[in-house]
Amino acid sequence: MVANEPQQAAHVAAPAPADGHVTLRPPCAQDGRRVYDAVRTWGGLDVNSAYAYLLACDRFAAQCSLAERDGELLGFVVGLAPSDTPHTLFVWQVAVAPAGRGLGLAGRLVDDILARDPARYRFVEAHVGPTNQASMRLFEGLARRHDAPFEAREDYPAAWFPNGHDAECLVRIGPLREQGETP
């Protein structure tokens, strides 16, 4: 391999069907720029570096999901699997384009990640700002769909953030039931 030569991607995005249906899939490295552009365009989220989204879409694709319709990005979830809690999916960012709102995409995207490896994840966690009612409803709905306990508590106080950022609540859902497990 020659230095500074791009490496072949580990996986490549499959073409989306051109039938108007929404397709959910794990991202690939080439999607990093699209996700970065979406965060900047759609608003409502802290914009991280383009490199952070490229890395998430490439190295953490198993914890991420994209929604597309006719090749248009409609939504995404960027998640992580914390090393100290390997059975937890930490949802870092969720966004849905104006064209995808009202379709339940945010919940479907999280469920897509969980369904890919149902024995792995027993908990879902996320940080949610106190005024972000849409995200709170998303995670409350996820807990109901999975018949799992829901807990929210302040985790990062506002004083820890620069520029008047709100405090962040830690939302925790679980334990999730494994397929076939009864309450």
pLDDT digits (tens, 9 = 90+) for 66-124: 999 999 999 999 999 999 998 999 999 999 999 999 999 999 999 999 999 999 999 99
Residue 136 CA to residue 139 CA, distance in Å, equals 5
Amino acid letter, residue 124: V
- Report cis status (omega within 30 of 0) of the bond before 175: yes
Amino acid letter, residue 102: G
Amino acid letter, residue 114: L
- Could you tell me whether strands 88-96 and 123-128 are parallel, antiparallel, or unpaired per DSSP bridges? parallel
pTM of the entire predicted model: 0.85
The pair of structure tokens assigned to 70 is: 């006719």
Amino acid letter, residue 132: N
Q: Which residues pair with 68 in a beta bridge?
A: 23, 73
Which domains are seen in the chain, by residue range?
Answer: 22-173 (3.40.630.30)
Q: Is residue 135 classed as helix, strand or coil in its secondary structure?
A: helix
Residue 62 Cα distances to 58, 114, 183, angstroms = 9, 10, 27
Residue 48 in contact with residue 39, Cβ under 8 Å?
yes
What does the pLDDT look like over 137-164, one tens digit per residue? 999 999 999 999 999 998 887 788 888 7
